Amino acid sequence: MIFRVTYVVILAISFFAFSPPSSVQSSTGQYLEKIPDSIVSISSGYVIAIDKKIQKLYVFQKNGGFAKVFEANCSTGKNQGGKQISGDAKTPQGIFFATKTLFNPGPPETYGTLAFPLDYPTISDKKAGRNGTNIWIHGTVKPLTPFQSNGCVVLADKDIHELLKYIQINKTPVIIAEAITWIPQNKTSPLKPELERILSLWMKSYLAGDLKTIDALYLDNTRIKGKKRESLATRMSSLKNANQHFSFDPRDVSILQLNQNAVILFDQVTVINKDNSFEGSFNKLSLERINNKWLLIDDVDALAAAPKSDKPAVSEPDPGSPNEAVHNLISKWTDSWKSGNMIVYRSCYASDFRAQGMNLKEWVNHKVEVRTHSKNINIRIDNLKITESNNRSTATFTQYYSSNLLKSKGLKKLDLRKINGKWKIYQETMQ
């Protein structure tokens, strides 16, 4: 019995100790980080890659070249292979995106103190008959053992909190592969020209108001229909022929590919206002390779699911709840920024507040300058989580922001202190 237990421990260590070759020498003699071959092209930001075979999670950053900025042991499904049906204890393979951030999602022995639900099953998964729900990347406070989850990707709790800084909800790609194929980062994928051509044709047709050509890019039964098609036609009409006066090239383009599926991410101008200012959105095109040809099967405006502006910026707190005072401060902070009442806005902050290298006076002056150049500012927050201990509190939430100049969605964190019996913000960060 003792010998058998010792063997299992050694087996676990052997899984977690293995790492692939990390770099390759270029023709100039410079050593470059190797990257997963699923990364076809990235303009900026991070990519998360999970290797089920060796039970590793990696994060790569694009800033000029690629650099591996984080690596951690993980545990995936008890059974091998890609997920097919609910309850098969397999971890899916594919390109996914975190849909929300969950703090304290359940018993910490099982889920740790942080989790990121993934968008499995995707359109491609559903087409193939794959099902199941609640595939998460989450933590655990128990010792990590290889191949022990029911389908999720599990990290040690300290590692899931480190991962938080690299994830942008609905934006950061999460590649889950049976086994990552590593390639030199200066090697161009043979698929890149064809996928870039599809994006270029999408944009040209979009600007020309040519729905017929856009239809031809899709698999027959996945073409845009109903209200979504009406909305697309309206936006296309508003931009028709505007490319004679403005440049509407897609920005911040990223292309990922795994097996017969690909995803193209990009920022796109969608509206030109009367004062010639732009509004845009972050878009995601999903593709599938069928009979050696890439076809679109879905397109998503990542901000389309943002709550509408006619709803309150912050949901009402439960009367008498322990966090009611913090909740009310956040409501006042959000409403004053939307309305432009900078006196009330300033009153939400502690006198020793600092953010982005600015003190309180500099911060408020910066915000006044932003408001001077922005119109139709709207803010809504969702998934508000408040933790409170003594005279300190932390609030985290998803923030939806829009104006005539910018649309964004991200995870925000407010650190608060109780000063003379009132809560004040002393630090603010966007993660």
Q: What is the pLDDT of residues 222-231, one digit of tens each?
A: 888 888 888 7
Among 334, 309, 320, which residue's Cα sits nearest to residue 384? 334
Structure tokens at 307: 């709550």
The proportion of the chain whose per-residue pLDDT surpasses 90, expressed as a percent, equals 44
Among 304, 367, 302, which residue's Cα sits nearest to residue 339? 367
Position with higher pLDDT, 373 vs 178: 178
Structural domain for 408, as ranges: 324-430
Strand-pair category, 392-402 with 136-140: unpaired
Q: Per the omega criterion (within 30 degrees of 0), is the bond before 173 cis?
A: no
Position with higher pLDDT, 125 vs 12: 125
41 in any annotated domain: yes
Looking at the structure, tell me whether residues 161 and 208 fall in a common domain.
no
Looking at the structure, tell me whether residues 17 and 159 fall in a common domain.
yes
Q: How distant is the alpha carbon of residue 282 from its chain centre?
A: 11
Looking at the structure, tell me whether residues 180 and 196 fall in a common domain.
no
Residue 221 has what pLDDT?
Answer: 86
Looking at the structure, tell me whether residues 135 and 81 fall in a common domain.
yes
151 in any annotated domain: yes
Residue 232 has what pLDDT?
Answer: 79
- Under 8 Å between Cβ of 92 and 135: yes
313 in any annotated domain: no
Report whether pLDDT(305) > 50: no
Please state which of the ranges 105-109, 145-149, 301-305 shows the lowest mean pLDDT: 301-305
Q: What is the mean pLDDT of residues 24-34?
A: 53
CA distance 183 to 312: 49
Looking at the structure, tell me whether residues 57 and 203 fall in a common domain.
no
The proportion of the chain whose per-residue pLDDT surpasses 70, expressed as a percent, equals 83
Residue 280 has what pLDDT?
Answer: 67
Looking at the structure, tell me whether residues 61 and 173 fall in a common domain.
yes
Strand-pair category, 94-97 with 173-177: antiparallel
Q: What is the pTM of this model?
A: 0.67
Looking at the structure, tell me whether residues 279 and 130 fall in a common domain.
no
Residue-level length of the chain: 431
Please state which of the ranges 3-12, 31-40, 58-67, 202-211 shows the lowest mean pLDDT: 3-12
Write the CA distances from 296 to 68, 185, 202, 285, 305, integer angstroms: 31, 27, 10, 7, 21
Among 313, 327, 332, which residue's Cα sits nearest to residue 393? 327
Residue 333: burial class (beta carbons within 10 Å; 0-12, 13-18, 19+): buried
- Contacts of residue 108, defined as CB under 8 A and 6 or more positions apart, other chains included, come to 139, 140, 141, 157
- Under 8 Å between Cβ of 374 and 363: no
CA distance 379 to 59: 30
CB-side exposure of 103: number of CA atoms within 13 Å? 14
Position with higher pLDDT, 431 vs 395: 395
Q: Decide which of 184, 201, 226 is a domain's last residue.
A: 184
Tens digits of residue pLDDT in 319-328:
555 678 888 8
Residue 20 has what pLDDT?
Answer: 58
318 in any annotated domain: no
308 in any annotated domain: no
- Contacts of residue 97, defined as CB under 8 A and 6 or more positions apart, other chains included, come to 118, 119, 169, 170, 171, 172, 173, 174, 284
Tens digits of residue pLDDT in 308-343:
444 456 655 555 556 788 888 898 898 888 878 888
Report whether pLDDT(274) > 70: no
CA distance 376 to 276: 15
Looking at the structure, tell me whether residues 385 and 346 fall in a common domain.
yes
Looking at the structure, tell me whether residues 220 and 369 fall in a common domain.
no
Looking at the structure, tell me whether residues 342 and 419 fall in a common domain.
yes
Q: Decide which of 184, 206, 226 is a domain's last residue.
A: 184
- The domain tally of the chain equals 3
310 in any annotated domain: no
Report whether pLDDT(135) > 90: yes
319 in any annotated domain: no
Looking at the structure, tell me whether residues 352 and 293 fall in a common domain.
no
Q: Decide which of 165, 184, 203 is a domain's last residue.
A: 184
- Contacts of residue 6, defined as CB under 8 A and 6 or more positions apart, other chains included, come to none
Looking at the structure, tell me whether residues 226 and 177 fall in a common domain.
no
231 in any annotated domain: yes
- CATH number for the domain spanning 82: value is 2.40.440.10
- CATH number for the domain spanning 234: value is 3.10.450.50
